[in-house]
Amino acid sequence: MKKITIITIVYNDLDGIRKTMASVFSQTYPNVQYVVVDGGSNDGTYDEIQKHSNKIDKVLHERDEGVYDAMNKAIDMSEGEYVIFMNSSDTFYAPNTVQLAVDLIGEEEKEAYYGDHILLSEKDTQRYIKTPEALGDLWKKMPICHQALFVKLSWHKKNLFDINNIASDYEVVCKLYKDDEIKKLDLPIAIYLEGGLSEKSILISTWERFKLAKKFGLHSQLFIFCYYSILMLYLFSKFKILRILKRK
């Protein structure tokens, strides 16, 4: 029976950690390791984690250099055959999600498997995101929800996140894709809380995706350059117009 490590990264998110831990604890699959990395919360989040210490296999409570640094620490603490990140405020689709995923993986030996996800807005509206089986459009967007991705631990230990790259999860998927080591599971896996990225973050992440798409040769260099040039111009103009409208 495969051992699955579920990882939760959290910082000052008391309501979110309650929701995520409840989802993890409800999983019916029996062979799970649960790792929680808290970035030094001071709002009661860590106290809540400690209340459930009997259900958590490993807990780390210390300051970090950002979410990807925390993720790397969690990978180092993991022991399962596959790891999945279910970060604070995000949940599994259903109590039997991990069990169904393991059943679908079976005896296959791909390094990673991904599924569909539900996008939950801040107004609690839900939208089902059907992830494509073929990742040919990876060059222009991140089609996979990171909370719906199982990655083999042995691979991840050799391919840690770049803590200085805001699109580091995109880079991980690019590596898996180029090596043909990622496969779709026809299964909804996660309910992902839509984040409120700032204008700066969106522009930086888009720029980082541009560089990674070029690095991994996901399309012709000229095509990538033209597409991202237009996209960056569009985003910059959009944000500038929105700022003007807000001042009125």
Render pLDDT for 190-229 as a digit per residue (tens, 0 to 9). 999 876 555 578 899 999 999 999 999 999 999 999 999 9
Residues in the chain where the model's pLDDT stays below 70: 195-199, 244-248
Separation of CA 58 from chain center: 20
For 32-147, strand residue ranges (E) read: 32-38, 58-61, 82-85, 91-92, 112-120, 126-129
Domain enclosing residue 121, as ranges: 4-196
- For residues 221 and 163, membership in a common domain is answered with no
User: Side-chain half-sphere of 227: how many Cα atoms within 13 Å?
Assistant: 18
pLDDT at 108: 80
- Number of structural domains (the chain) is 2
Q: Could you report how far apart the first and last alpha carbons of the chain are, in Å?
A: 61
Residues 71 and 150 both lie in one domain: yes
124 in the same domain as 85:
yes
pLDDT score of 1: 86
At residue 63, the pLDDT reads 94
CATH number at residue 89: 3.90.550.10
- Give, in order, the Cα–Cα distances in Å from 177 to each of 56, 61, 112: 32, 33, 9
Do 115 and 223 lie in one domain? The reply is no
13 and 37 belong to one structural domain: yes
Tell which of 155, 180, 196 closes a domain. 196
